A and B are shown apart, each in its own frame.
Chain A
Amino acid sequence: MESLVWLIPLLPLAGFALLLLGGRSLGEPNAGKLATAATGASFAVSVLVFVGLLLLDSHDRSFTFTLFSWVPSGSLSVDVGFLADPLSITMALFVTGVSTLIHIYSLGYMHGDRDFSKFFLYLNLFVFSMLILVLGDNMLLTFLGWEGVGACSYFLIAFWFEDEANATAGKKAFVTNRVGDFGFMTAIFWTFFAFGTLNYSEIFADAGSVSTTTASAIVLLLCLGAAGKSAQFPLYVWLPDAMAGPTPVSALIHAATMVTGGVYLLVRVNPLLAAADSWVPEMIAWVGLATAIIAALAAVAQMDIKKVLAYSTISQLGFMFVAIGVGAYTAAVFHMVTHAFFKALLFLGSGSVIHAMDGEQNMSRYGGLARLLPVTSITFGVGWLAIAGVPPFSGFWSKDEILAGAWNHNRLLWALLLFAAALTAFYMSRAVIMTFFGERRWGAGTADDSTAHHPDESQTAHSPGASAHVHPHNEPPALHPHESPPTMLLPLVSLALLAAVAGVINLPFVKDTHFLEKWLEPSLFHNEASLNFAGGTKWVLAGVAIVAGLVGIWLAVSIYLRKSMPASMVERDFFARAWRYDEAISAVAGGPGRKAFSALAFFDHKVIDGAVNMVGGAVQVSAKQLRRLQTGMVRSYALGIALGAVVLLVYFISRASF
């Protein structure tokens, strides 16, 4: 059954092709149903392949299916082949599963949108690209998928491109990704140069044969690519802006799937990480930690609910990078899976709230929605508890694994990571309280000064069916929030269930319950760092983590619900502006950057183009001079002929032998 692996990416591709040809004529809702069916079928096949792999022995669980030879060029031979091994099938399962749920959600969310079928077209293309990324058996195929998801991300962020801000956000995402792609590409070149092949199994078999410098260089370049795709410092700037896209896009791409591409890549090349210098994984861990803290601090001061979730995603991705850096690959994958569930859930829930609030995204105009949106608030609550790390929800287990790995490696790392976990609980609780609890800061007659003074922070989304409208600052419009339609609620409930119970795939109690760890072993080649502390320490660490989470929640409650502490204590402007990072980049790029760019453009224009033009100019000048020979005078020509004849005669006579 594992030989069906090639169907997994091809079903969404077929969906994409069909929608490309007849999407507009299919119209709503059939276009959406077709896309959902394609993705659902892909999920079904993933399950079949998974079962097929389960039935094999654990050391046999690596199956390659080659479709055709793609690049047979000299010594480089790249095939389009799909690798079905535990890691890739895990990824394929949750990618297709979450995608299907989000497709169902979009049926409701994008209802009435003018470009309904185009949305599903892009979504299917995205799923196809992501599956290529995940299932590819060589670096070039992974890179193909990598670029594909980058392109789809651009398409989908700038989906409502009539508003220039959305188009700019799409461009920003693409360009920032491109910086990372440069790293990935160079890594591919270097890999080919060092190993002579791009196929994973062949590279990993040879991993020990190259020097540590080579392996380190390749891994560093891959990190550059992963940092771009998975929004790590310093290439995370595109993710908050990417919230300009429709909420299902944010949920699917920028929470659950595309941004995990970088994490997947690094886990996939774990033999190279093992072969590199030890400071390379160290650096990965610290970069991840820095990202986690920077993003968490930025999240505590955001007013837009989607921006909070965006920074939260960046922060959680930082957690995953820390896990990779300390060698806890299973923990990274575990957290990737649970994060997909609860982050997608949170995003979809926020979409439901935005839909109910008629496009309003500013949390300062929310409040008291729990009663009015029961399903949404309950499911959102589940997601909140999961991310805050409250047992028995899934987030607790995965985060705890990462913390354990950090403690194993470096105590300081662990302490700072714990601080980030506390911050996570804090800002998420803040968001929940501001949205669902407390007094209503919306509706007729609420002349709240605080709401009047939030002019530019609020971002009104282009909710489908409604044209862009800016709320007047003085009086919030009358709203009648209602629960979302069933197509939007079904995925919420499903994801909530998953977020609640997903922890069971890798429980730390007994060795036997470490399902995920055992399952992933064939892909990890024994590079998983083993925890070298006693079992009792684990319980203490878990307890400390729970306490940190509860501290965060308590702080949020006291500031935002009980109002016993002023909010301005935490909500610093510096954090709200995301550490002024974007502004710094603009200053550098606009100032000295612009000068450098102008110099480069000048160089290109004058020197490179000039050289080419000079050739043309030289031809012109010489032709002008040569033209003077063409006098049209017969006698000049005759003289030329005579002179030529004399020269030839001299030449032949001098060479002749008598």
Chain B
Amino acid sequence: MEVTTAWYLILGGVLFSIGSFGLLVRRNPLVMFMCVELMLNAVNLTFVAFGRDLGDIGGQAAVFFVLVVAATEVVIGLAIVVAVMRRQPDATADDISMLSG
């Protein structure tokens, strides 16, 4: 038995689905963020797997940029969370519903 690309892909799929489930179910904004990180990691895994499979370094380059942007996103996101939670320390995602119609 050999570890083929397919295994990595399926593992990535599993991580992605767990991450998406967590994102939709949890209300604590920080935990939601962590689930997003999970999803991004799953995608990174997939990228690298394909990159190796196709013999193209572009996959890893993509992961590089994903990492950078994920970091950026976390910075901004946490800044927003801080700004919101300063007013209401036990704020959850459900409390930010000012755009209701």
Asked whether any CB of A lies within 8 Å of a CB of B in the complex, the reply is: yes
List chain A positions with a Cβ less than 8 A from chain B.
627, 629-635, 638-639, 642
Q: Is the CB of A638 within 8 A of B23?
A: yes
Contacts of B79-101 to chain A: CB distance below 8 A: 93-94, 96-101
Q: How many residues of B are counted as interface, with CB atoms below 8 angstroms from the partner's CB atoms?
A: 12
Q: Complex: how many Å from CA A633 to CA B92?
A: 11
- For residue B34, give the distance in angstroms from its CB to the closest CB of chain A: 15
Q: Is the CB of A635 within 8 A of B94?
A: yes
Q: Which of B23, B27, B101 contacts A632 (CB 8 A)?
A: B101
Q: Is the CB of B101 within 8 A of A627?
A: yes
Q: Is the CB of A632 within 8 A of B93?
A: no
Main secondary structure of the interface of B (DSSP, over half): loop
**Total of A-B residue pairs, C-beta within 8 Å:** 31
Q: Is the CB of A642 within 8 A of B97?
A: no
User: Which residues of chain B come closer than 8 Å to A629, judged between CB atoms?
Assistant: 101
Q: Which of A630, A639, A642 contacts B99 (CB 8 A)?
A: A630
Residue of A nearest to B94 (CB): A633
* Given A627-B101, A631-B100, A635-B93, 15 new contacts (CB under 8 A): A630-B99, A631-B101, A632-B98, A632-B99, A632-B100, A632-B101, A633-B93, A633-B94, A633-B100, A634-B94, A635-B27, A638-B23, A639-B24, A642-B20, A642-B24
Q: Complex: how many Å from CA A635 to CA B101?
A: 15
Q: Complex: how many Å from CA A631 to CA B20?
A: 21
User: Which residues of chain A come closer than 8 Å to B27, judged between CB atoms?
Assistant: 635
User: Which residues of chain B come closer than 8 Å to A638, judged between CB atoms?
Assistant: 23-24
Taking A638-B23, A638-B24 as contacts, is the C-beta distance between A630 and B96 under 8 angstroms? no
- For residue A644, give the distance in angstroms from its CB to the closest CB of chain B: 13
User: Which residues of chain A come closer than 8 Å to B99, judged between CB atoms?
Assistant: 630, 632
Q: Is the CB of A634 within 8 A of B100?
A: no
- Taken residue by residue from 20 to 59, chain B's Cβ proximity to chain A (1 for < 8 Å, 0 otherwise) reads as 1001100100000000000000000000000000000000
Q: Is the CB of B24 within 8 A of A630?
A: no
- For residue B10, give the distance in angstroms from its CB to the closest CB of chain A: 15
User: Which residues of chain B come closer than 8 Å to A627, judged between CB atoms?
Assistant: 101
Q: Could you pull out 16 A-B pairs where Cβ atoms are within 8 angstroms?
A: A630-B99, A630-B101, A631-B100, A631-B101, A632-B96, A632-B98, A632-B101, A633-B97, A633-B100, A634-B94, A634-B97, A635-B94, A638-B23, A638-B24, A639-B24, A642-B24
User: Which residues of chain B come closer than 8 Å to A635, judged between CB atoms?
Assistant: 24, 27, 93-94
Q: Complex: how many Å from CA A629 to CA B97?
A: 12
Q: Is the CB of B93 within 8 A of A634?
A: yes
User: Which residues of chain A come closer than 8 Å to B23, judged between CB atoms?
Assistant: 638
What are the nearest 4 A-B pairs in CB distance? A630-B101, A632-B100, A632-B97, A632-B99
- For residue B98, give the distance in angstroms from its CB to the closest CB of chain A: 6
User: Which residues of chain A come closer than 8 Å to B93, judged between CB atoms?
Assistant: 633-635
User: Which residues of chain A come closer than 8 Å to B94, judged between CB atoms?
Assistant: 633-635
User: Which residues of chain A come closer than 8 Å to B96, judged between CB atoms?
Assistant: 632, 634
Which interface residue of B23, B27, B97, B98 has the most chain A CB atoms within 10 A?
Answer: B97
Q: Complex: how many Å from CA A639 to CA B22?
A: 11
User: Which residues of chain A come closer than 8 Å to B98, judged between CB atoms?
Assistant: 632
